[in-house]
Amino acid sequence: MNIKSVAFRGSFKSYTQCPADGKPEFAFIGRSNVGKSSLINMLVNRKDMVRVSNKPGKTQSINYFLINDLFYLVDLPGYGYARVSKTERIAWEKMIAAYFTNRPGLACVYQLIDIRLEPQAVDIDFTNQLGEWQVPFQLVFTKCDKVSKGDGLHNIQRYFNKLRATWDVLPHHTVTSAEKTTGREAFLDTIRQTLEELNC
């Protein structure tokens, strides 16, 4: 897929404020500081379309980016650790749940997972939550350049071993590195295939 145009379309606090034009939406979510902003920038081949921060919890709204005037990439707040109050964190969780369960144009959710780490309970719980919401989703293992190939594959296998306790069919996954652009074409190809299935 060739990314010809990218345009920021707004930052929203509720799914009811989000664009209502019906274009397909591909949403990104993951534990705070997992590399969402870097990955989105890599996919669209822009260095600073999404602001990258080392501070967990930087993304606090639902951010929309229109790609090729055809579909949206949606940057969602991270889950897990963030330096915010409990009240703010609960509000974020409600906002995310409402978005996932009320957006008819949601084509796919990409859950980002740090490949360097052993399976984290917060990630496993969120994968299971996506299954309960019955939304289409894929797993994206990030930062593969920060670990050896063998260790990365081992951690992916450990993650899937955890999922086998509750999943009969394991989710599709992609391995990426924003820094090395690893997995970019494969990732964009999954978007292209979904758009074709939607006749877009």
Residues 28-63: tens digit of each pLDDT: 999 988 989 899 999 999 877 766 544 544 457 899
Distance CA 117, CA 182 (A): 18
- The first and second tokens of residue 116, run together, are 């360097």
Q: Which stretches of the chain score pLDDT less than 70?
A: 50-59, 81-84
State pLDDT tens for residues 95-110.
889 999 999 999 999 9
Range of the domain at 176: 6-197
Alpha carbons 123 and 111: distance in angstroms, whole number: 9
What pLDDT sits at residue 101?
Answer: 93
- Is pTM beyond 0.85? Reply is yes
Note whether residue 170 is domain-resident.
yes
* Residue 49, pLDDT score: 73
CATH for 76: 3.40.50.300
Q: Is the residue at 90 inside a domain? A: yes
If one counts the domains in the chain, the total is 1
Q: Which helix (H) or strand (E) holds 121?
A: helix 121-133
Q: 1 in a domain, yes or no?
A: no
Angstrom distance (rounded) from CA 128 to CA 200: 29
In a domain, 162, yes or no: yes
